[in-house]
């Protein structure tokens, strides 16, 4: 076990010792001589004491991503097998398997595997490698997934922008091992039949992180008229229809998502209900619709991250506030707004502030029924707040 050493500046080791997995470039005193991007390095403090072992990247602001603080732990196939097995065991300790056959099995840093995402859709794995370190360990990781999980197949969806910050190119998507997944993989979530599009869908094919919030909507939607904005493959409306919603309208800008959306709606729509789909840019659409006054019992609004860089926070909060103000204006008296933000940089406090300002701008009184984060298969390491990204509020409205 001989990994190139990297030395930190004085007093730069505390957050990593406390469990945060990232070391930024400013904390590094001397760059390692014999290490290249993607290699494993040993990190020492200014007193030459071992701090951690992790992936090195000389191009990224995140210079090291810690894998272990145990100096006697080699980064080899046994390491990856053990970490993956631990992550799977954690999911088994929840009730997830009794409510769904689709879940995130490995959630990057939060499972001690920086840059690795593994989603399981009924035995078909869809994976992403986000970091140069994980990319270098590709074969070891794939072998470990086979050993621990014996999946039907492993499909890759590393066509993600975050790879660029690591100096990596997008990879072509496709099958890495096993049988070709079907065009739409059928999955189930709280009694709702859904379809994941591993080939062309966003992320790994489906947004698993909103599962609990979709299910809560299912239980509140009986007899209601629902508007679902930024609807992707219509997961929220499929749940609402299952729960007895009388009418749903889903709006998304992507023509591509409509194939899976149509399937998900049809599979769950009772004969007496009506499910509509619309391709539109929501920003102008909602401006115009909101001017026509309240017309829905429930409005769901789940936009993509509206913020990429730190310095855009103020601007992004303005955009979120305007969207939510318009959404509030569309909810009938006594109705419900379900609003989410998936940007880690928008904190819980920021999000409450957005909702408060939006309600005030729309002149409605509002009470928050629940405040949720992502489902349990997207666990949070309290030492890694960056992993706490999804916020979802269910707010009751009175005029």
> Interface with ligand SAH by CB under 6 A: which residues?
202, 207, 210, 230-233, 235-236, 252-254, 257, 281-283, 302, 304
Q: Which of 202, 312 has the CB closer to ligand SAH?
A: 202
d(CA 333, CA 73): 59
Distance CA 60, CA 167 (A): 7
Which of residues 113 and 194 has its CB atom nearest to ligand SAH in the complex? 194
Closer by beta carbon to ligand SAH, 183 or else 281: 281
**What is the nearest approach in angstroms of ligand SAH to the Cβ of residue 117?**
16
CB contact at 8 A, 217 and 236 = yes
Return the number of the residue (27 or 240) whose C-beta is nearest ligand SAH.
Answer: 240
Residue 92's CB: how many other CB atoms inside 10 A?
Answer: 10
Q: Are 379 and 105 in contact (CB under 8 A)?
A: no
Considering beta carbons, is residue 133 or 201 the nearer one to ligand SAH?
201
Q: Which residues contact 205 (CB under 8 A, 6 or more apart)?
A: 119, 121, 126, 157, 185, 196, 197, 198, 199
* 135: three-class secondary structure by DSSP: helix
Strands 247-252 and 331-341: unpaired
Which residues lie below 8 Å from residue 287, measured CB to CB, with a gap of 6+? 326
Residues 6+ apart with CB under 8 A from 338: 213, 217, 236, 298, 299, 300, 301, 302, 392, 393, 394, 395
Nearer to ligand SAH, 12 or 228 (CB): 228
Q: Quote the least distance from Cβ 145 to ligand SAH, whole Å.
A: 25
């Amino acid at each position: 076990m001989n990994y190139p050493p990297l030395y930190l500046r004085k007093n730069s080791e505390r957050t990593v010792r406390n469990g945060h997995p990232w070391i930024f470039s400013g904390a590094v005193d001397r760059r390692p001589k014999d290490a290249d991007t993607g290699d494993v390095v040993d990190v020492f403090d200014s007193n030459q004491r071992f701090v951690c072992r992790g992936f090195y990247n000389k191009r990224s602001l995140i210079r090291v991503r810690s894998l272990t603080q145990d100096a006697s732990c080699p980064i080899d196939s046994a390491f990856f097998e053990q970490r993956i097995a631990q992550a799977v065991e954690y999911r088994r300790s929840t009730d997830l398997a009794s409510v769904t056959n689709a879940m995130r099995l490995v959630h990057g840093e939060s499972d001690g595997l920086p840059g690795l995402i593994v989603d399981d859709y009924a035995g078909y794995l869809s994976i992403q490698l986000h970091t140069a370190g994980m990319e270098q360990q590709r074969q070891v990781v794939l072998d470990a997934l086979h050993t621990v999980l014996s999946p039907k197949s492993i499909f890759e969806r590393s066509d993600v922008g975050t790879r660029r910050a690591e100096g990596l190119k997008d990879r072509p998507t496709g099958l890495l091992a096993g049988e070709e997944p079907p065009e739409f993989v059928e999955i189930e979530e709280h009694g709702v039949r859904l379809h994941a599009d591993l080939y062309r869908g966003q992320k790994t094919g489906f947004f698993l992180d909103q599962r609990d919030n979709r299910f809560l909507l299912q239980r509140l939607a009986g007899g209601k008229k629902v508007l679902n904005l930024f609807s992707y493959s219509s997961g929220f409306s499929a749940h609402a229809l299952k729960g007895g919603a009388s009418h749903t309208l889903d709006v998304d800008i992507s023509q591509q998502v409509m194939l899976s959306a149509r399937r998900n709606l049809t599979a769950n729509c009772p004969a007496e209900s009506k499910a509509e789909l619309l391709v539109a840019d929501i920003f102008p659409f909602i401006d115009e619709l909101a001017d026509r006054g309240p017309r829905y019992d429930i409005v769901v609004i789940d936009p993509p991250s509206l913020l990429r860089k730190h310095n855009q926070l103020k601007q992004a909060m303005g955009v979120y506030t305007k969207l939510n103000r318009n959404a509030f204006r569309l909810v009938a008296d006594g109705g419900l707004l379900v609003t989410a933000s998936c940007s880690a940089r928008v904190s819980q406090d920021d999000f409450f502030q957005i909702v408060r300002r939006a309600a005030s701008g729309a002149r409605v009184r509002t009470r928050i029924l629940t405040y949720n984060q992502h489902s349990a298969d997207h666990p949070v390491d309290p030492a890694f707040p960056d992993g706490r990204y999804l916020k979802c509020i269910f707010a009751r409205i009175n005029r």
